[in-house]
Structure formats: structure tokens, C-alpha cells
Chain A
Amino acid sequence: SAVLNVDLQTDAMLQVDISDALSERDKVKFTVHTKSTLPNFKQNEFSVVRQHEEFIWLHDSFVENEEYAGYIIPPAPPRPDFDASREKLQKLGEGEGSMTKEEFTKMKQELEAEYLAIFKKTVAMHEVFLCRVAAHPVLRKDLNFHVFLEYNQDLSVRGKNKKEKLEDFFKNVVKSADGVLVAGVKDVDDFFEHEKTFLLEYHNRVKDASAKSDRMIRSHKNAADDINRIASSLYTLGTQDSTDLCKFFLKVSELFEKTRKIEARIAADEDLKLADLLKYYLRESQAAKDLLYRRSRALVDYENANKALDKARAKNRDVLQAETSQQLCCHKFEKISESAKQELIDFKTRRVAAFRKNLVELAELELKHAKGNLQLLQGCLGILKGNT
């Protein structure tokens, strides 16, 4: 769903959403739809087609931009992953001979529904990224963002060449090494010291919770699949039996057909409200950590510049150069610190709001499904007991 962003200063509106998506063999094509009154754009409403790599390009361009060092860069959406689903559909096709027509049709519908769910999720995650950018007072004005939204040709960013990939690799290695170094330095500013401690721990805990929630939901899906098979077997038993049991089995089979749909829905809802929430905050907390790292780097540069200035003054050589450098570092550090503080406060606000919304919705859905299940079970029991 779209987010309406009104820039109070310039009174310009920017609304971005993914209006359509197409899943082809090994790629997904997103139709990015923009509505805006900003003067930069040629039209007020337009659409372009983008693929996942172009989102990554946009994200990376923010990360690499020194001007944005003081902001939490909205985390990049994860790559669309249909491999597992595709594999299952393939296996089903191969195993077609070993099951009845009804079973095959049922399983096929299941897997298609699963594929569709994954598809919807990936669309949502790409959309959330764009909306976060559009909501950010500074990032929404970014030129690359505008190009991304408007340029109706291929951005030709796919398939980074090998050299570029290696550069990325080394960048990350250096970053994490630095991260270790910087994490050890105690900050004079209480606010940032607290945030650092908090984020380091929080990020790890979210990572763990995310993994565990995935496993839990996976088991739930497996159980729902079993109930599906049980329903089918009971149906066959019901049609075959010559005793009183045939009606009994058919009734129970019908019950399990319905309850397993609910169980599958529970797993899907837990996935959406819990697992996705945790995954998202895993990425956002990483982005926040990156921000802290950049600030720490700026602080280190500033301290080094101070030392260099002292040295220069002592030797009375290149003093002006050292002064300029020191002033730049100071300015950069202060700028980052100022925006970082606001970003981190906003992060907390967003986080609390998102958790609240999702936890409430999760509880409401769990209740709804449990009540639904209960009603089905009690209804069936009433009939079965009445007949025996």
C-alpha cells in the first residue's frame, strides 16, 4: 500500500507504490508507479518497470553517498526467492503418477497459493523500501531516486562485473574490521554510547528471534500439510467402508479439510505479522548500526585531524592545510551526529509503532483462527456424537 508524503516546506506531494508485478522465469518485473507534484518530474503521474537489481543499485548509491552518512539508509529489499517454491512444483509434477487426481489437484493448488504468497511478499518488501525513501525528508530529493522513478529505460545496472564485486567484498571486510575497532571506543556522548550498546545487543537478539520464528512457522506449515493428507486418507476410507464408519469418516475428513486451511492461514499470518516484522527490523537495526559506524569513523577522522593539527602547529608546517582539514572533519562529524540523533529517535518511534501494530494484529488473527477452529470442531463433534 502507498504512503502519502507531503513535503510541508515546498508543499509538494510524492506518492510511490508498486501497482503491478510480473513473475517470469527467473526474474520479477515491478511496475513502479509515482504520483507527484514535485517540479523535477516531467509529468504528475507516471510508471516505469524495474527489476530487483535496480533497487539494489539505488540502495547502494545512498550508502556510498557521503552526504547521507548521517542517515539510517532504508534497508534494501531481499532478493525475490522462488527457488524453494519452484522446486516443490517441479517435484509435484514428477510425482504426478503416484497420487490420485484429486490429491494432485489439491497439492497443485496449495503450491500455487504458496507461490502467490511469496510473490505478494516480495512485492510488499520492495514497495516498503520505496515508501521509506519517499518518506525521508532528504532522501526523497535524491537525484538517483528520481531517475529510478522516472527514467523509462533500462538502468543497465545488472550484473556487476567481477572487479566491482571484489571491491564490494573488500569494502565489507574493512567495514567489519573497523566496526570491531570502533565498537571498543567509549563515546563521550551518553546518548550515542547508550545507542551503541543497545543496537549491538538488539541486532543480535532480533537475528536470533527471526531465525527461531522462521523455524516455528515452518513446523506449523508441515503440520498443516500432514492434516491435509490425513483428510484425504479419511475421505478415501469413508468412500470405501461398508459399515457405519463411512459417514463418520467422511464427516471427519470434511472437518480436517477445513481446519487445515485454518492452520495454513495461521502459519501465513504468523509469517506476515511476526517473521517479516523481525526480518525487517533485523535489516533496519543493521542500517542503524551502519550509521553509528559512519559516525564513529567521522569521529576517528576528526580526532586524527586534531592530532595532525597539533603536530603541524608544533612543527609550524602546513598549518593552514591542517586547520582546513580539521575544520572539515569537525563539520562532518557534527553534521552526522546531529542527524544521527534524530534518525535514531525516529527509528525507535517507528520500531515501537510497527511492533505494536503487528503484535496486536497477530493476537487478533490468532484469536480469530482459534475461534474458527473451535467452532468447526464443536460443530462436527455435535453431529458425530448425536449420531452414535
Chain B
Amino acid sequence: MSLCTELVLDITYHQVKAPLFLVAQDLTLFCICVNVQSQPASLAAEDISTNSNGPKQDSLFDDDPEDLFAEATEEVSLDSPERDVLLSDGPSPAITPITPPTSVITPRIVSCVFIEEEEGGDSFDIHISVSDPEKVGEYMTSMSLFKRSEFAVKRRFSDFLGLHSKLASKYLHIGYIVPPAPEKSIVGMTKVKVGKEDQSSNEFVEKRRSALERYLMRTVKHPILLKDPDVLQFLESSELPRAVSTQALSSAGLLRMVNKAADAVNKMTIKMNESDAWFEEKQQHFENLDVQLRKLHTSVESLVCHRKELSVNTAQFAKSAAMLGNSEDHTALSRALSQLAEVEEKIDQLHQDQANADFYLFSELLGDYVRLLTAVKGVFDHRMKTWQKWQDSQMLLQKKREAEAKLQFTNKPDKLQQAKDEIKELEGKVQQGERDFEQISKTIRKEVSRFEKERVKDFKTIIIKYLESLVQTQQQLIKYWEAFLPEAKAIS
């Protein structure tokens, strides 16, 4: 009997007031609540699965995902457990003390997650919801949900970046598409630190929180990355060793740099003899997709901007119409104008809401995929580099063999032996190079297949949600104008 495991993740936002000299550091905290439960398979019926389109398992996916959390349930207790994890090499951890802030607000409710059971093993479908970011009060104990099998952790923005950089360094070069973390934004961050409570800093916080949610979701959806000890530590450890050297570059910046370097390398080397048309085809496809998505993204960003403008201008017109109504000396017309003003005021809020949907659903989807494609292009470049390395080893081997052949005719036994040793070593390298190349090619095929599936799902789901938001707007508009029409007709 196989088990279904339920994993619930919830991220809330905390801001901590800092003494001035600590302003330079990133003190924003995000709280991740994890809920791990084990259920018998019969309860799986409650699952609201989004993967209802046929067997999900990709035949190319040979790795068998173990039921990681089956063990975890026993280990999790009311106290936050420290898992025995393999920490990647890094600088010695330094934990920064956090000054507790003043007001207290509780976070919002967690939303459910579900896991599907499949042939050949459990696969985890994890849905993370991020609740409202709020300025939080008392630290730790009052916030963590220490219910049965639940535990909460707090993470800084830089922790997310740190996680990404670790994953990127471990997995990118062997062909895994590691989702990029959200960008840093100095301007926005400063506003929030200063404690500015205005709308733009709130918007910034929400943007960031939403981006982190999507980032983490994409990361844990990846079956390989989810198993990574750094990821598990990130989700579970009560205290994460603070990355002393916060990166100068954001993850996307890092990727860009990597890709630029790769491009430079490619320009210098001979073009790879692509034995497999599949790769060339896919690269071209992603190239085209990148161009089109960027274009679409620009247009959608423009729409967001104009929709916000429309909202502001509608609000201003509403006020103006109200004033006009006040000065109108015909009673019925005056009233109708006031009603018009009210309608326009409601409509301005509608436009504001729609602009948010435009942004959070449509625009961010496109932005995410533009960034993801950078990672995709990165793995293709790594494959080329791997090939190049293999070729270089082969060429070197060839040279050494030729040299050895020449040495055969000279009377230098020491040199000959040295040459034979070197050749042996190089033969090993060549074999390894070939294996690496085959492995990365295989991995990329799997990754691309997975990526494309996710892409189709993401776009369909989110665009449908977006269209539903448009439907709602129209329905509201109809309501408002239907209410106004009799008022206009009543003018006599």
C-alpha cells in the first residue's frame, strides 16, 4: 500500500525594524510554514489535482523518486527538528541577531497542497501559497505553527538568493534547468527599510513576495531539486547559516554572466558538429520563443502601465464630474451627474484591480519565462562546453599518441614511460568526457521535456485565470452601468 503525503507550504512576510547601522543588511524575513502529513492512499480522492491530463510520468525520467517524506513524518515533532543534512561547502555560518519589532499581527491561513500517487513511486506535486505580506510583531514562537507535523521557518530574501546560487553551482553545469531567483532591487528595498508605509513600497513588497512564491514553487516542483539537501534545509531548518558574502549579482545576473562567458567561448571555438538534430532544433525553438516572449512581455507591461493610468484618470474624472454635478442648478441633472461620478469612481477601482491581474498573472508569467529561458539557454551552452572539453581531451590524447609513437624510435625509456602514463590518464579523461557529454545530453532531453510540459501547463492555467479576471471586470461594468441607466433616463 502506497502512501500519500501532504505537504503544505506557506510564506508570510515579516519586516524587522533595524538600528541604523544595520540598514545595509537585508533584514526582511519571510516565514515559510511547512506541514508534512502522511495519509493512507484512500484519502487521495480529496486531491484537487491539476495534472489531470493523462499519465504524467515522462518515460525518459528514469530516476525513481523515493517517498522522502514518509520518513520525515516520524521525525517531525513539536520542536523544530534539525535534519542531518549534507551542507554544501560554504563560508562558516554567522548568525545575525534580530531585534524584535513592536506590533503584532498574525499571518493568514495556509492553503492546501496535495500529492499524487503514481505508478513506479510517489511523485510530489507541491503547491505553495504565499499569504499576505504583513509587518510582523513578536518574533518566532508566536508565529510558528507548531502543530503536529508542522513547522515554520523564517527566511531572508538573501537566503533565497543563496539557495539559488548553491543550486545553480551544483546543477546547471550538468544540464539541469535551475529556476532563477527573483531580482534584487536596491531602490525598492531602501524604501521598505526606511519604513515608508506608502502604496509603492507596499506594492514592491507584494511583488517580491509573489515572485518568491513562484520561485520556490518552481524549485520544489523539480523532482531532483526537491531532493537536494540544501533545498530541504532551506525548508526545514529553524536557522539557516547566514551567507556572509552576499552575491554581488542576483541569480539572473549570475546566469547572464555565465551565458555571456559561454557565448564568448563559443565564438572562439569551432562550431560543434551536432550529431543530434534534436538539440539544434530545440535551441532554435528556444531562441525564437525568447524573442517572442520578450516582445509580448513588453506589450503587457505597457498595458499594465496604461491601465493604471486609466484608473488614475478615471478617478480624477469622477471627482470632476461630482464637482460639475454640484454646480449644476437643474436638480435632476445634478443628481444624475453625481451618480455618474459614483459609477466612474467604482470603475476606477475596477481598472486598478484589472491592472493588478494584468501584472501578477500575465506580466509576471512572461517575465518568469523570459528568465527561465536564460537558464535553458545556459544548459545548452554547458553542453557545448562539455563537448568542447571532451574534444580537447581527445585532441590532446591524439597529440600525446603521436608524440609517443615518435618516442618509440628514440632511446629514452623514462620519457617513453612518462608518455605512456600520460596517455593512460588522458584515455581515462576522454572516456569521462564522453560519458559527461552523453549524460548531460540525456539530462537536457529530460529537462527540456519536463520544461515544455510545465510551460504548456503554466501558460494554459494562468492565461485562463487571467481571462476569468477579465470576465469578472466586464460583469462588474455591466452591473454599474445598468444601475446608472435609469438615473440618466430620470432626468426631465
Contacts and interface: CB of A to CB of B under 8 A. Distances in A.
Nearest to B314: A216
Given A216-B313, A236-B292, A366 B477 contact: yes
Contacts of A364: 485
Interface string B291-319: 01101100110110011011001101101
Interface in B432-463: 452, 455-456, 459-460, 463
Interface string A234-252: 1011001111110010001
A208 interface: yes
Nearest to B52: A388
A162 interface: no
- With a 10 A CB-CB cut-off, give which of B300, B316, B481, B482 has the most chain A CB atoms: B481
A374 B474 contact: yes
Given A356-B333, A364-B485, A371-B478, A226 B491 contact: no
B475 interface: yes
A205 interface: yes
Interface stretch (B183-191, B320-328, B379-387, B413-421): B320-328
Nearest to A361: B488
B60 interface: no
Contacts of B309: 219, 222
Contacts, number: 164
Interface in A218-236: 218-220, 222-223, 226-227, 229-230, 233-234, 236
Nearest to B53: A388
Interface stretch (B9-17, B117-125, B244-252, B464-472): B464-472
Contacts of A213: 317, 320
B330 A370 contact: no
A324 B442 CA distance: 111
A240 B289 contact: yes
B488 A363 contact: yes
B321 A366 contact: no
A96 B470 CA distance: 33
B317 A243 contact: no
B295 A355 contact: no
A20 B296 CA distance: 43
A209 interface: yes
A344 B285 CA distance: 71
A198 B330 CA distance: 11
A205 B300 CA distance: 35
Contacts of A138: none
Contact of B296 (A237, A370, A371): A237
Nearest to B296: A233
B327 A201 contact: yes
A25 interface: no
A216 B341 CA distance: 13
Contacts of B489: 356, 360
A152 to B, nearest CB: 43
A235 to B, nearest CB: 10
Nearest to A368: B481
A220 B344 CA distance: 13
Contacts of A211: 320
A96 B455 CA distance: 33
B285 A242 contact: yes
B278 to A, nearest CB: 12
Interface stretch (A2-10, A83-91, A377-385): A377-385
B79 to A, nearest CB: 44
Interface residues of A, number: 59
Contacts of B488: 356, 359-360, 362-363
A296 interface: no
A46 interface: no
A198 B329 contact: yes
B340 A359 contact: yes
A355 B333 contact: yes
A348 B471 contact: no
B153 interface: no
Contacts of A233: 292, 295-296, 299
A367 B459 contact: no
Contact of B475 (A222, A230, A236, A374): A374
Contacts of A243: 452, 455-456
A200 B176 CA distance: 72
B4 to A, nearest CB: 25
Contact of A360 (B317, B327, B475, B485): B485
A218 B309 CA distance: 10
Contacts of B313: 212, 215-216, 218-219
Contact of A219 (B53, B288, B306, B491): B306
Given A209-B320, A245-B459, 10 more contacts: A202-B324, A205-B324, A208-B323, A212-B317, A223-B303, A240-B289, A356-B333, A363-B485, A380-B467, A388-B460
18 contacts: A202-B328, A205-B326, A222-B306, A223-B306, A226-B299, A236-B292, A245-B455, A245-B456, A355-B491, A356-B488, A356-B492, A359-B488, A363-B485, A364-B485, A373-B470, A378-B471, A381-B467, A388-B460
Interface of A: 194, 198, 201-202, 205-206, 208-209, 211-213, 215-216, 218-220, 222-223, 226-227, 229-230, 233-234, 236-237, 240-245, 248, 252, 255, 259, 348, 351-352, 355-356, 359-360, 362-364, 366-367, 370-371, 373-374, 377-378, 380-381, 384-385, 388
6 tightest A-B CB contacts, nearest first: A219-B310, A226-B303, A233-B296, A359-B488, A356-B491, A212-B317
